[in-house]
Structure 1
Amino acid sequence: MAILKIVQLITRMDKVGGAQKHVEALAIHLKQDGHDVTVVTGSYQPSLWHLQEHKIPVISISALQRAIHLAKDFQAFWQLRAVFKHLQPDVIATHSSKAGVIGRIVGRLLQIPTIFTAHSWSFTEGVPYKKKLFYQRMERSIQPFTTKIITVSEYDRELALMKKVAPAHKLLTIHNGIDPIERNKTTEKICMEQPVIVMVARFEVPKRQDVLLKTLAELTDIPWHLQLIGDGSLRPALEHFVEQNRLSNRVTFLGNQLDVHSYLEKGHLFVLLSDWEGLPISIIEAMRVGLPIIATNVGGVKELIIDRDNGFLVERENNELLKKRLHQLLMDAPLRGEMGTASEQRYLQYFTFIPMYQKTLMVYQQAVSELVKKGD
């Protein structure tokens, strides 16, 4: 197997999110397999990641940021061009919208094969109409610069075909996957008389901790405790809501946590309410430890959760059904157990890391060999 020089490019690594976790896991495994990997990003917070201990170089491009800013984007273009010319990678793997756009243009100009992983399209269902239209046009125009597009869910592949943003031969679905972890059989489920609900999500759009908190505020007659893992600009308003509604003794804000796994292992139920999604790694992490899931039926979520099997799907805005499903699982421990077992089995069958990794590496290798063939 040929050793590749790979750049993993993502807009930011100063926040914990599914795309960032995906990039970290790929980079570490590629390095362990002997490939030469460099992570290139905008803002970078080393304490959130394990890249340093694996001796994976990270290059921070100060001008690369999420918001559209023509002057900074132009600057990011030239900075990335200089970095790629210096590194001379065999392949550039881009993640997230901004890095995806600029990275693919630079890659094409330097004649480096460029892969884009769509962790969730910016024109997906639930995104405001004008924004959706803008990103749809943008993606269509950038598609010719792309060697291959990986979608993390079948939903996203079909959406790309339906919106005509890329031809079928350039699109392929590779479901997210994460490494199995040795289950700690001695872990005590905390406060057995009080089921613990866990939600792992940044406090930003499109995540809806507010919907969960408002619904739980109507269920104070039954036992539950909520742990919210993550951080972001919407957190202070929700802390205020918790205080106002006298829920401080039932809701814990845990901020960003490196060891999310240990909290999930002690929980009883995982909830993720989002207005849109790709294929959430946080749900896969909850499935890995055998938790039943309640989540909004958006994006590729229904590829993870089979309604009434390993959890419940609820439509956006259907707060009555959400309340009913929360009540049902909080009050029925045997049902939680059955659904949790189904979750773990589904994870082991479809969403482990190695199959995802092998398929992704194959895409990189094919992209490189296609370029070599063109050069012959």
Structure 2
Amino acid sequence: MQLITRMDEVGGAQKHVEALAIKLKQDAYEVTIVTGSYDPSLWRLQDENIAVISIPAMQRAIHLSKDIQALWLLRSTLKIIKPDVIAAHSSKAGAIGRLIGRFLGIPTVFTAHSWSFTDGVPPKKKLMYCQLEKAVQPFTTKIITVSEFDRQLALTKSIAPAHKLMTIHNGITQLADPATLSKNSLECPLIMMVARFEIPKRQDTLLEALIELPEVPWRIQFIGDGSLRPALEKYVTDKGFAHRVTFLGNQTEVTELLANGQIFALLSDWEGLPIAIIEAMRAGLPIIATNVGGVSELVTDTDNGFLIDRGDKELLKQRLRQLLTDETLCKKMGDASERCFLRNFTFSPMYQKTVEVYEQAVSKLSKKGD
């Protein structure tokens, strides 16, 4: 059973769960996804005949009565499904899933897509989630971190012993025909950003920097949706740059859209190992990103892109100007991105390692039962 807090938005964790579930089903595993809010139009799960059970009481925010309701409903659901292993994703689902897993004697594997106590998270929230993770750690069979940064952070914070922690980098499928992604030379380079319009993503930081480069040719397309989008649309219109900025909303497939871009940007206050950057690397794009979480495991500064410290707007403007005005540099860094993707971040190795962790968790419980 794949358990995640919500599937009504497009994010890296949700894409990860979808890809795993589809491949597991193709490999003849029985798969059920249990989630809070669910929007079937965003996913291919129905087409693949993958069962999805929605428990609306399960939500990100701490809410005592709803959390108790979610615990009870999840317990009832698990008693019906009787899964061999619970694969939990995201903090709330991870905590609830591990509690019920221990109660019912089901092994649990928790994938930390980004710790909620990572650098950049507000101090009170950081402390609360650190304590929560320590509390449910004894109920966890194995913890997968999607970046080495997050594994080291968990060790530093004494979240779990080293033998319970394993880094498995995110991976995505290779394209059947990479040649279709040839970049066209444009007089006005197109920047792409794929991210929810929510904290911790910072579309506003990128827009503020670009608007201070009015003499440089640029256009930008934002893929994603969320509560912060309307304010940014108004900001762009008020500043007189609506002709340069396009808001595309949620997109179930970004491959062709990225193929039309020249530069990819992701400026977040914190991250795990962003699948959006891996998708951009697969498309052969140079990357500009904040140096947070595991981003430096994807982007090598001055090789396949530029890393920017959080809040350094002047360096961001300088790096944007470099890529927007140097087509040769864009091509060189884009080629390096694609090579890095093919070498380190394809789907098959990630999938095989993840399935091995699931099977070891089940095996460990069987031996304990013997």
TM range (shorter): over 0.9
Q: Deviations along 1:266-305, whole A, 9 cap, x unmatched?
A: 1000000000000000000000010000000000000000
Unaligned stretches of 5+ in structure 2?
A: none
Paired position in structure 2 for 1:130:
124
Q: 1:40 aligns to what SS in structure 2? A: strand
What is the rounded CA distance, in whole Å, between the counterparts of 1:148 and 1:264 in structure 2?
A: 35
Aligned-partner Cα distance in 2 for 1:65–1:87:
21
TM-score of the aligned structures, taking structure 1 as reference length: 0.97
| 1:159 equivalenced with 2:133 (yes/no) | no
Q: Deviations over 1:232-260 (max 9, x none)?
A: 00001100110011101000000001121
Counterpart residue number, 1:313: 307
* 2:100 paired with 1:113: no
Distance 1:250-1:80 versus aligned 2 partners, 3 A rule:
same
Q: Does 1:288 align with 2:287?
A: no
Structure 1 stretches lacking a partner, 5+ long: 1-6
**Contact 2:181/2:283 (<8 A) preserved:** no
Q: CA deviation at 1:222?
A: 1.0
Instruction: Give runs of ≥4 in structure 1 deviating > 3 Å.
Output: 183-191
Whether 1:366 aligns to 2:354 is no
Displacement, 1:191?
7.1
Q: What is the match of residue 298 of structure 1? A: 292
What is the CA-CA distance between 1:186 and the residue it aligns to?
4.8
Give distance in 2, aligned partners of 1:231 and 1:10: 19
Cα distance in 2 between the residues matched to 1:218 and 1:13: 37
Structure 2 counterpart of 1:40, from 34, 44, 55: 34
Q: Which amino acid aligns with 1:118?
A: A
Q: Is the 8 A contact 1:183 1:289 kept in 2?
A: no
Alignment check: 8 A CA contact 1:196 1:226 kept:
yes
Alignment of 1:175-186 (within 5 A): 175-183=169-177, 185-186=179-180
SS of 1:59's partner is strand
Aligned residue for 1:39, secondary structure, equals: strand
SS at match of 2:31: strand
SS at match of 2:293: coil
Cα distance in structure 1, aligned partners of 2:3 and 2:179: 38
Distance in 2 of aligned mates of 1:323 and 1:333: 17
Q: Residue 246 of structure 1 corresponds to which residue in structure 2?
A: 240
- 1:181 & 1:93 partners in 2: Cα distance? 27
Does 2:61 align with 1:67? yes
Structure 1: which amino acid aligns with 2:344? Answer: Y
* Contact 1:261–1:285 under 8 Å retained in 2: yes
Count of residues paired in the alignment: 370
Matched, 1:196 2:209: no
Alpha-carbon distance change, 187 to 347 in structure 1, aligned in 2, over 3 angstroms: closer
Could you tell me how far apart the structure 2 residues matched to 1:88 and 1:249 are? 54
Query: For 1:184 and 1:136, how far apart are their aligned partners in 2?
Result: 42
Identity in percent: 67
